Amino acid sequence: MMAKSYDVIVIGAGPGGMTAALYASRANLSVLMLDRGIYGGQMNNTAAVENYPGFKSILGPDLAEKMYQSSTQFDAEYGYGSVDSVTVGDDGLKTVVTDSETYETHALIIATGSEYRKLGVPGEDEYGGRGVSYCAVCDGAFFKNKPVAVIGGGDSAVEEGGYLSQMTSGVNIIHRRDQLRAQKILQDRAFANDRIGFTWDTIVTEILGDGQKVTGVATHNKKTGEDSQQSVDGVFIYVGNQPMTAPFLDLGITDEKGWIVTNEKMETKVPGIFAVGDVRQKDLRQITTSVGDGGIAGQEAFNYLQSLGD
Protein backbone atom coordinates (compact mmCIF):
# COMPACT_ATOMS: atom_id res chain seq x y z
CA MET A 1 0.00 0.00 0.00
CA MET A 2 1.30 3.49 -0.93
CA ALA A 3 2.00 5.66 2.08
CA LYS A 4 0.09 8.96 2.21
CA SER A 5 2.44 11.91 2.34
CA TYR A 6 2.17 15.25 4.20
CA ASP A 7 4.61 18.09 4.85
CA VAL A 8 3.85 17.86 8.55
CA ILE A 9 2.16 15.18 10.64
CA VAL A 10 1.00 16.06 14.13
CA ILE A 11 0.22 13.14 16.43
CA GLY A 12 -2.34 14.17 19.03
CA ALA A 13 -5.07 16.81 18.78
CA GLY A 14 -4.97 18.43 22.22
CA PRO A 15 -4.17 22.14 22.63
CA GLY A 16 -0.48 21.68 21.73
CA GLY A 17 -1.16 19.58 18.64
CA MET A 18 -3.97 21.80 17.41
CA THR A 19 -1.84 24.93 17.75
CA ALA A 20 1.07 23.27 15.92
CA ALA A 21 -1.33 22.33 13.11
CA LEU A 22 -2.64 25.92 12.97
CA TYR A 23 0.84 27.42 12.63
CA ALA A 24 2.10 24.86 10.10
CA SER A 25 -1.01 25.02 7.89
CA ARG A 26 -1.07 28.82 8.02
CA ALA A 27 2.49 28.65 6.66
CA ASN A 28 0.96 26.87 3.66
CA LEU A 29 2.18 23.38 4.55
CA SER A 30 0.04 20.28 4.11
CA VAL A 31 -0.77 19.08 7.62
CA LEU A 32 -2.38 15.96 9.03
CA MET A 33 -3.42 15.87 12.66
CA LEU A 34 -3.89 12.31 13.88
CA ASP A 35 -5.72 11.36 17.05
CA ARG A 36 -7.08 8.11 18.39
CA GLY A 37 -10.10 9.90 19.83
CA ILE A 38 -12.01 13.15 19.72
CA TYR A 39 -9.93 16.34 19.40
CA GLY A 40 -9.38 18.33 22.57
CA GLY A 41 -7.41 15.89 24.69
CA GLN A 42 -7.70 16.43 28.43
CA MET A 43 -9.72 19.62 27.92
CA ASN A 44 -12.67 17.28 27.31
CA ASN A 45 -12.38 16.03 30.90
CA THR A 46 -12.16 19.48 32.44
CA ALA A 47 -15.16 21.34 33.80
CA ALA A 48 -14.18 24.99 33.98
CA VAL A 49 -10.97 26.43 32.55
CA GLU A 50 -10.18 29.70 34.32
CA ASN A 51 -6.56 30.21 33.36
CA TYR A 52 -6.71 30.46 29.59
CA PRO A 53 -6.51 34.14 28.58
CA GLY A 54 -9.46 35.54 26.71
CA PHE A 55 -12.06 33.68 28.75
CA LYS A 56 -12.87 34.39 32.40
CA SER A 57 -14.17 30.84 32.55
CA ILE A 58 -14.97 28.40 29.78
CA LEU A 59 -16.03 24.75 29.74
CA GLY A 60 -13.14 22.50 28.65
CA PRO A 61 -15.08 20.89 25.76
CA ASP A 62 -16.17 24.34 24.52
CA LEU A 63 -12.57 25.53 24.44
CA ALA A 64 -11.61 22.33 22.60
CA GLU A 65 -14.27 23.02 19.94
CA LYS A 66 -13.13 26.63 19.48
CA MET A 67 -9.51 25.50 19.13
CA TYR A 68 -10.48 22.85 16.60
CA GLN A 69 -12.38 25.38 14.43
CA SER A 70 -9.40 27.67 14.57
CA SER A 71 -6.75 25.03 13.93
CA THR A 72 -8.46 23.64 10.81
CA GLN A 73 -9.27 27.01 9.14
CA PHE A 74 -6.19 26.78 6.88
CA ASP A 75 -7.03 23.25 5.71
CA ALA A 76 -5.12 21.18 8.25
CA GLU A 77 -6.74 17.73 8.10
CA TYR A 78 -7.91 15.90 11.18
CA GLY A 79 -8.05 12.12 11.00
CA TYR A 80 -8.48 9.09 13.18
CA GLY A 81 -5.38 7.03 13.82
CA SER A 82 -3.90 5.12 16.70
CA VAL A 83 -0.16 5.25 16.06
CA ASP A 84 1.69 1.96 16.42
CA SER A 85 5.20 3.00 15.39
CA VAL A 86 7.41 5.72 13.96
CA THR A 87 10.61 4.93 12.07
CA VAL A 88 13.17 7.25 10.50
CA GLY A 89 14.85 6.38 7.20
CA ASP A 90 18.45 7.19 6.23
CA ASP A 91 17.09 10.09 4.17
CA GLY A 92 15.32 11.53 7.25
CA LEU A 93 11.86 10.54 6.03
CA LYS A 94 9.60 9.52 8.91
CA THR A 95 7.14 6.67 8.47
CA VAL A 96 4.14 6.71 10.77
CA VAL A 97 2.20 3.44 10.98
CA THR A 98 -1.27 3.50 12.51
CA ASP A 99 -3.75 0.69 13.05
CA SER A 100 -5.20 1.38 9.58
CA GLU A 101 -2.79 3.50 7.46
CA THR A 102 0.84 4.27 6.72
CA TYR A 103 1.96 7.90 6.36
CA GLU A 104 5.20 9.62 5.43
CA THR A 105 6.48 13.02 6.43
CA HIS A 106 9.71 14.93 6.90
CA ALA A 107 8.41 16.91 9.88
CA LEU A 108 6.72 15.09 12.75
CA ILE A 109 5.26 16.81 15.80
CA ILE A 110 4.43 14.57 18.76
CA ALA A 111 1.62 15.97 20.93
CA THR A 112 0.26 12.82 22.55
CA GLY A 113 0.05 14.21 26.08
CA SER A 114 -0.27 12.13 29.21
CA GLU A 115 -2.81 9.82 30.79
CA TYR A 116 -3.90 9.26 34.38
CA ARG A 117 -1.89 7.03 36.63
CA LYS A 118 -3.59 4.25 38.52
CA LEU A 119 -3.34 3.99 42.28
CA GLY A 120 -2.50 0.29 42.13
CA VAL A 121 -4.53 -0.98 45.10
CA PRO A 122 -6.91 -3.95 45.40
CA GLY A 123 -10.43 -3.12 44.23
CA GLU A 124 -9.33 -0.39 41.79
CA ASP A 125 -9.69 -2.49 38.64
CA GLU A 126 -12.55 -4.60 39.99
CA TYR A 127 -14.71 -1.52 40.64
CA GLY A 128 -13.60 0.53 37.62
CA GLY A 129 -16.77 2.08 36.18
CA ARG A 130 -18.69 0.84 39.23
CA GLY A 131 -17.67 3.60 41.61
CA VAL A 132 -14.01 4.07 40.72
CA SER A 133 -13.43 6.95 38.30
CA TYR A 134 -10.62 9.12 36.93
CA CYS A 135 -12.92 11.79 35.44
CA ALA A 136 -15.24 13.93 37.56
CA VAL A 137 -16.77 15.66 34.55
CA CYS A 138 -17.62 12.29 32.96
CA ASP A 139 -18.92 10.47 36.04
CA GLY A 140 -19.77 13.05 38.71
CA ALA A 141 -23.48 13.03 37.87
CA PHE A 142 -23.71 9.35 38.90
CA PHE A 143 -23.04 10.40 42.49
CA LYS A 144 -25.76 12.99 42.98
CA ASN A 145 -26.29 13.54 46.73
CA LYS A 146 -23.91 10.70 47.59
CA PRO A 147 -20.56 10.89 49.43
CA VAL A 148 -17.37 10.53 47.39
CA ALA A 149 -13.65 10.39 48.10
CA VAL A 150 -10.98 12.08 45.99
CA ILE A 151 -7.46 10.69 46.21
CA GLY A 152 -4.48 12.99 45.61
CA GLY A 153 -3.37 16.49 46.53
CA GLY A 154 -2.44 18.12 43.20
CA ASP A 155 -4.31 20.59 40.98
CA SER A 156 -6.52 17.87 39.50
CA ALA A 157 -7.62 16.40 42.85
CA VAL A 158 -8.42 19.78 44.37
CA GLU A 159 -10.03 21.33 41.29
CA GLU A 160 -12.14 18.29 40.46
CA GLY A 161 -12.98 17.89 44.15
CA GLY A 162 -14.51 21.37 43.95
CA TYR A 163 -16.50 20.36 40.90
CA LEU A 164 -17.77 17.19 42.62
CA SER A 165 -18.81 19.17 45.70
CA GLN A 166 -21.54 20.81 43.62
CA MET A 167 -23.53 17.63 42.98
CA THR A 168 -22.47 15.10 45.65
CA SER A 169 -23.45 15.16 49.32
CA GLY A 170 -19.81 15.78 50.23
CA VAL A 171 -16.25 15.23 49.09
CA ASN A 172 -13.42 13.91 51.22
CA ILE A 173 -9.95 14.53 49.82
CA ILE A 174 -7.57 11.86 51.04
CA HIS A 175 -3.95 12.96 50.72
CA ARG A 176 -0.77 11.14 51.62
CA ARG A 177 0.89 14.23 53.14
CA ASP A 178 -0.25 17.09 55.39
CA GLN A 179 0.09 19.71 52.64
CA LEU A 180 -1.51 20.00 49.24
CA ARG A 181 0.56 20.30 46.08
CA ALA A 182 -2.21 22.24 44.27
CA GLN A 183 -1.95 25.94 43.34
CA LYS A 184 -2.77 28.25 46.25
CA ILE A 185 -5.95 29.68 44.69
CA LEU A 186 -7.35 26.15 44.34
CA GLN A 187 -6.34 25.30 47.92
CA ASP A 188 -7.96 28.45 49.33
CA ARG A 189 -11.16 27.68 47.47
CA ALA A 190 -11.24 24.09 48.72
CA PHE A 191 -10.53 25.07 52.34
CA ALA A 192 -13.40 27.59 52.18
CA ASN A 193 -15.81 24.99 50.76
CA ASP A 194 -17.81 23.42 53.59
CA ARG A 195 -18.72 20.46 51.34
CA ILE A 196 -15.06 19.43 51.13
CA GLY A 197 -13.27 17.64 53.98
CA PHE A 198 -9.68 16.40 54.19
CA THR A 199 -7.98 13.30 55.54
CA TRP A 200 -4.27 14.05 55.86
CA ASP A 201 -1.17 11.81 55.94
CA THR A 202 -3.28 8.93 54.74
CA ILE A 203 -2.99 6.40 51.96
CA VAL A 204 -5.80 4.31 50.54
CA THR A 205 -4.88 0.65 50.84
CA GLU A 206 -8.00 -0.88 49.26
CA ILE A 207 -11.18 0.12 47.50
CA LEU A 208 -14.03 -1.72 49.16
CA GLY A 209 -17.21 -2.97 47.54
CA ASP A 210 -20.13 -5.33 47.87
CA GLY A 211 -19.30 -7.25 44.68
CA GLN A 212 -21.48 -4.89 42.60
CA LYS A 213 -20.27 -1.40 43.44
CA VAL A 214 -17.98 0.63 45.65
CA THR A 215 -18.97 0.94 49.31
CA GLY A 216 -15.90 2.61 50.76
CA VAL A 217 -12.13 2.80 51.10
CA ALA A 218 -9.70 1.24 53.55
CA THR A 219 -7.05 3.70 54.72
CA HIS A 220 -3.80 3.77 56.64
CA ASN A 221 -2.59 6.86 58.48
CA LYS A 222 1.16 7.09 57.94
CA LYS A 223 1.75 9.22 61.06
CA THR A 224 -0.40 7.45 63.63
CA GLY A 225 -0.26 3.98 62.03
CA GLU A 226 -4.04 3.72 62.38
CA ASP A 227 -5.99 1.60 59.88
CA SER A 228 -9.51 2.77 59.20
CA GLN A 229 -12.41 2.68 56.74
CA GLN A 230 -14.57 5.39 55.17
CA SER A 231 -17.97 4.77 53.58
CA VAL A 232 -18.30 6.36 50.13
CA ASP A 233 -20.17 5.58 46.92
CA GLY A 234 -17.54 6.95 44.56
CA VAL A 235 -13.74 7.13 44.50
CA PHE A 236 -12.08 9.64 42.15
CA ILE A 237 -8.39 8.99 41.67
CA TYR A 238 -6.07 11.88 40.75
CA VAL A 239 -2.56 10.72 41.59
CA GLY A 240 -0.74 12.17 38.61
CA ASN A 241 -0.06 11.41 35.00
CA GLN A 242 2.28 9.37 32.84
CA PRO A 243 3.42 10.17 29.29
CA MET A 244 1.81 8.48 26.29
CA THR A 245 5.04 7.67 24.48
CA ALA A 246 4.96 3.90 23.92
CA PRO A 247 5.26 4.16 20.08
CA PHE A 248 8.28 6.48 20.36
CA LEU A 249 10.48 4.70 22.89
CA ASP A 250 12.75 3.20 20.19
CA LEU A 251 13.57 6.68 18.84
CA GLY A 252 15.77 7.43 21.86
CA ILE A 253 14.08 10.79 22.53
CA THR A 254 12.61 10.05 25.98
CA ASP A 255 14.00 10.35 29.50
CA GLU A 256 14.04 7.51 32.04
CA LYS A 257 10.37 8.10 32.90
CA GLY A 258 9.23 8.24 29.28
CA TRP A 259 8.77 12.03 28.90
CA ILE A 260 10.16 13.46 25.62
CA VAL A 261 13.17 15.73 25.95
CA THR A 262 13.30 18.83 23.72
CA ASN A 263 15.17 22.12 23.49
CA GLU A 264 13.47 25.53 23.40
CA LYS A 265 12.64 25.05 19.73
CA MET A 266 10.71 21.89 20.67
CA GLU A 267 13.29 19.86 18.74
CA THR A 268 14.06 16.38 19.95
CA LYS A 269 17.46 14.94 19.22
CA VAL A 270 16.12 13.40 15.99
CA PRO A 271 16.15 16.08 13.24
CA GLY A 272 12.63 16.84 12.08
CA ILE A 273 10.90 15.32 15.13
CA PHE A 274 9.42 17.83 17.54
CA ALA A 275 7.37 17.38 20.73
CA VAL A 276 4.90 19.74 22.41
CA GLY A 277 2.63 19.93 25.42
CA ASP A 278 2.24 17.56 28.35
CA VAL A 279 4.26 14.77 26.70
CA ARG A 280 7.42 16.88 27.08
CA GLN A 281 9.76 16.79 30.04
CA LYS A 282 8.74 20.14 31.60
CA ASP A 283 7.68 21.80 34.86
CA LEU A 284 4.37 23.45 34.07
CA ARG A 285 1.77 21.35 32.25
CA GLN A 286 -1.05 23.73 31.33
CA ILE A 287 -3.21 24.50 28.31
CA THR A 288 -1.34 27.80 27.95
CA THR A 289 2.09 26.18 27.94
CA SER A 290 0.95 23.53 25.46
CA VAL A 291 -0.36 26.22 23.14
CA GLY A 292 2.97 28.05 23.39
CA ASP A 293 4.87 24.87 22.59
CA GLY A 294 2.58 24.21 19.62
CA GLY A 295 3.17 27.63 18.06
CA ILE A 296 6.92 27.21 18.33
CA ALA A 297 6.88 23.67 16.90
CA GLY A 298 4.63 24.64 13.96
CA GLN A 299 7.04 27.44 13.03
CA GLU A 300 10.14 25.31 13.61
CA ALA A 301 8.72 22.53 11.43
CA PHE A 302 8.40 25.12 8.66
CA ASN A 303 12.01 26.24 9.21
CA TYR A 304 13.18 22.62 9.17
CA LEU A 305 11.44 21.88 5.86
CA GLN A 306 12.90 25.07 4.37
CA SER A 307 16.38 23.94 5.43
CA LEU A 308 15.93 20.64 3.57
CA GLY A 309 15.38 22.60 0.36
CA ASP A 310 18.56 24.71 0.78
As a whole number of angstroms, the distance between CA 99 and CA 172 comes to 42
As a whole number of angstroms, the distance between CA 236 and CA 133 comes to 5
* Beta-strand runs (E) in 99-195: 102-110, 114-116, 132-133, 147-151, 170-174
310 is catalytic: no
41-60 residues in contact with ligand NAP (CB under 6 A) are 51
Q: Which stretch binds ligand NAP (CB under 6 A): 22-30, 81-89, 146-154, 209-217?
A: 146-154
- DSSP string covering 56-78: SSEEHHHHHHHHHHHHTTT--EE
**Single-letter residue type at 157:** A
As a whole number of angstroms, the distance between CA 225 and CA 219 comes to 10
Q: How far is CA 224 from the centre of its chain?
A: 35
Q: Is 238 in the site for ligand NAP (CB under 6 A)?
A: yes
Closer to ligand NAP by CB, 95 or 241: give it: 241
125 is catalytic: no
188 is catalytic: no
- Please pick, from the candidates 137, 148, 157, 279, the single residue that binds ligand NAP as defined by CB under 6 A: 157
Closer to ligand NAP by CB, 142 or 200: give it: 200
Run of H or E including 155: helix 155-165
Q: Which stretch binds ligand NAP (CB under 6 A): 22-30, 236-244, 269-277, 299-307?
A: 236-244
Q: Which stretch binds ligand NAP (CB under 6 A): 85-93, 192-200, 213-221, 234-242?
A: 234-242
Closer to ligand NAP by CB, 85 or 286: give it: 286
List residues with catalytic annotation.
Answer: 135, 138-139
Enumerate binding residues for ligand NAP (CB under 6 A).
51, 119, 151-157, 159, 176-177, 181, 203, 238-241, 285-286
